[in-house]
Amino acid sequence: MDQVKELLSKLPEEAKDLRINLKRVLEGESLSEEQTWGTALTAAYFLRHPELTAAVLADAKSAGVSDAILEDARGAASIMGMNTIYYRFRHLMNSDAYNKRPANLRMMRMQQVASSKENFELFSIGPAALAGCEMCLKAHEAAVKKGGMTEDNVHDAVRIAAILHGVAVALESAEG
């Protein structure tokens, strides 16, 4: 975790809790090492903070995370960049005028995963939480649980995304 630790050293003292929290969640709790890094990398891509993304990617590679996990993290972040906007719109509008229409959005990447369907679904939970998309959260949680994962796994994925969001905010505030 050398690159992430170096990045965390740039956080202001006011963000000390984030340094501690990120180290803790990246050491793994209910998720495997690959799931932890895949979840973190998906969130970093989704947050679009280049320095944070580069540090998480470098440390994931150093940890020996497979290319399939790295590929699924990029794929999940990309697809969720589209889905969280569209499905949050449908939820917020709560109108048959929109909800009965077909989405007509290509999402084959969600079926053509590099690692496993469960990992891809797990990686999608962080961006869903970051975007506040209730429909996405519920759909991905159901898929993860159907695949044999637990609420602890979902909880940890959201914690990772939330902490990374806090780190991104703290890094940007330290720059200004």
Measured in whole angstroms, the distance separating CA 123 from the mean position of its chain's CA atoms is 5
Whether 164 and 37 have beta carbons less than 8 Å apart is answered as: no
List the Cα angle 96/111/32 in 5-degree steps.
Answer: 110
Cβ atoms of residues 43 and 126 within 8 Å? yes
Per-residue tokens: 24: 């803790």
136 is known as an active-site residue: yes
The catalytic position among 122, 133, 143, 164 is 133
The catalytic position among 136, 144, 154, 158 is 136
CB of 4 closer than 8 Å to CB of 59? yes
Q: What angle do CA 164, 170, 172 make, to 5 degrees?
A: 105
Examine the residue annotation and report whether 105 is marked as an active-site residue of this protein.
Answer: no
Catalytic residues: 133, 136
